[in-house]
Amino acid sequence: MGKESYISALISSLVIFKGVADGPVLSKLRIFGEGEPTVKCYTDFISELYKHGVNFSRYMLEAVCEDDNIYVRMRMSGRPVPPIIESAVQNELRVFSILSSFTSVELKLMTGFDGFLPDYATEKIDYAAEYEKSLLEVGKNGFGMYARYKMFRLEAGETVPILSPDPITVDRLIGYERQRTQLIDNTRALLEGKPAANALLSGDAGTGKSSTVKAIVNLFAPEGLRLIELKKNELKYIPKIIDGLRDNPLKFIIFIDDLSFGKNDYNFSALKATLEGSASVKSDNAVIYATSNRRHLIRESFSDREGDDVHRLDTMQELISLSDRFGLNILFTKPSRQLYLEIVHGLIRFYGIDDTYGDVDAEASAFALRKGGFTPRAAEQFVNGILGGIILNDNA
């Protein structure tokens, strides 16, 4: 067996780390070793590697340490690992060491091309020792895609990373300290393995409910907190999501933004079952945080109240009491003019803007009235206008 075929066979032999073998880089290297190596096969491999860096050894180490596989799930859940699987892991880690020993000079020679081809770097790494070390940090760093990203959403029912998450930070949020402290304390309890409540953030639009949740995730992400955002019509996936997180050492916020229900909304039952803690959706490492501009989550009309349901009083009570099934209810109301201006000046200081010119208070108040009222969102938009050089007293 030639070197090129040996490389392909090594990659194909991976079972525990099959996810790494099928990844964008090693899959290209495997093709390189199949049949006659060509310049295109080599450059396709290099092109994929360069998307992650120039060091092939380091790329494999990161991929191995972040891989979601049966072995890491067994280790994290405390289940005994069968000797057969333990042996397979150790042998596969040696495979990565062997692959790491192949230099770009050797691979280029296999193509038989005497023109220029780009190089890549390698280094000697003890993959077994490094992998064991990474397992000790899984509680903070996670594994699989949860190790690389901190916010996620659903796509066709599957969890995928948000590549450009909201960078909002807690120090950029001004006002609502009591509400924010309540949610921070609850989240810290989750991270510490203590009982944590599902939380409903309700109140007026533009008061920073969603920003508060995302800022808290950014604050605690280094300690192992992640967010999975769902739309209302995706609530049916909650049991599947929670089941997939059971063996994960990280902590998760399942985030539902702008939640409300209409009459006979089938999503109502899905959320009700989750909040009541049915066996299929109960988990110690996940909580639900939802935001709503409605205190009781239900869009009801007078015709709803006067319907012909024989037990309509019981029905309406069930609907409007859904919010009470959240263990923690936090109310965000529109700020007074004074608090609104405090938020404006706080943001101005945060961004380092010179506010000594003109009458900022008057301009900010006029801006808020044009926007429909004093809200943190209006304050943010006003300050963004300053940053963007927009004329503040433009009434057009």
Pick the last residue of a domain from 104, 136, 168. Answer: 136
Claim to verify: residue 355 and residue 314 sit in the same structural domain: no
Task: Please report whether residue 184 resides in a domain.
Answer: yes
Pick the last residue of a domain from 136, 159, 180. Answer: 136
- Full domain range(s) for residue 257: 148-332
Kindly list the averaged pLDDT for each block of 10 residues, start to end, along the chain of length 396. 89 97 96 88 97 97 93 88 97 98 95 96 97 88 87 93 93 92 97 92 90 96 95 87 86 90 62 64 84 65 48 50 81 90 90 75 90 89 83 47
Task: Please report whether residue 95 resides in a domain.
Answer: yes
Beta bridge partners of 155: 158
The predicted structure's pLDDT at residue 310 = 46
The predicted structure's pLDDT at residue 302 = 40
The predicted structure's pLDDT at residue 44 = 96
Pick the last residue of a domain from 332, 347, 372. Answer: 332
The predicted structure's pLDDT at residue 199 = 93
130 within 8 A of 161, measured Cβ to Cβ: no
The predicted structure's pLDDT at residue 359 = 84
46 within 8 A of 118, measured Cβ to Cβ: yes
Which helix or strand (DSSP H or E) is residue 226 part of? strand 225-230
Claim to verify: residue 71 and residue 173 sit in the same structural domain: no
Q: Helices marked H in 33-126 — which ranges?
A: 39-50, 56-66, 70-77, 83-100, 104-111
Claim to verify: residue 308 and residue 164 sit in the same structural domain: yes
Claim to verify: residue 379 and residue 306 sit in the same structural domain: no
- The tally of domains found in the chain comes to 3
Claim to verify: residue 168 and residue 123 sit in the same structural domain: no
Claim to verify: residue 308 and residue 327 sit in the same structural domain: yes
Residue 340, exposed/middle/buried by CB under 10 A (0-12, 13-18, 19+)? buried
The predicted structure's pLDDT at residue 354 = 75
Claim to verify: residue 157 and residue 239 sit in the same structural domain: yes
